Amino acid sequence: MNNFIQETLFLVTIINPIGIFMYLAPVRQNLSERDFLRVLFKATVISLSINLLFTYGGEWMFRTMLKIDFNSFRIFGGIVLLSISLMSIIHGGRALINIRGSLDDLASEIAMPFMTGVGTISVCILLGSKMNAIGAAAVNLTAAFVAFALIGTLALIRYHLSEPITVPFDKVLGIFIRINGFFMGAFGVEMIKTGILNVIRS
């Protein structure tokens, strides 16, 4: 049970729901509550599907189909995750997503690379290698639900806040984004270190 909770919290941290909520500011401003939640739900389903795909088939995909050593992906993923974490720490919740195309296109844009990125994919591949199929699925489903619930709750709160309160509300969330950036950065460094050590040992 403790392992399940730890893996779930870890995956939620890498998904970074508070950061996603802040990045979705322009989306939230141009959509009604109902449309925003609908787009968010579709993005969550797309993200969950990708995560499950890599949880169960990611290791085979790299080693058999792509003929790529997973440690190469681990090192590259760590570099990307480290750069993203530095951006989160320095810039906070600066918006990175803009309205364009249909709501379905928007859901896909949110799902990849924001809800599912290189860090999330790496965690899912590792998750599939050390947990049984049911346990790995449970972690993915729970993490997706927690992320959706947290982003949706924050959005509903933000929709109904009065103007004087929105500024301190966003500033507090910006602080959380920077704190989460430190955790993501540490994980990125760990991925790079582990990948390099595995290459040396092999």
Quote the pLDDT of residue 86: 77
- The closest alpha carbon to 137, from 41, 54, 62, 27, belongs to 54
Query: Which parts of the chain register pLDDT below 70?
Result: 88, 90-105, 113-114
pLDDT digits (tens, 9 = 90+) for 80-116: 778 777 776 766 555 445 455 555 667 777 777 667 8
pLDDT digits (tens, 9 = 90+) for 117-136: 777 888 888 888 888 889 99
12 Cβ contact partners less than 8 Å away, ≥ 6 residues apart: 143, 146, 147
How far is Cα 84 from Cα 87, in angstroms, rounded to an integer?
Answer: 5
201 Cβ contact partners less than 8 Å away, ≥ 6 residues apart: none
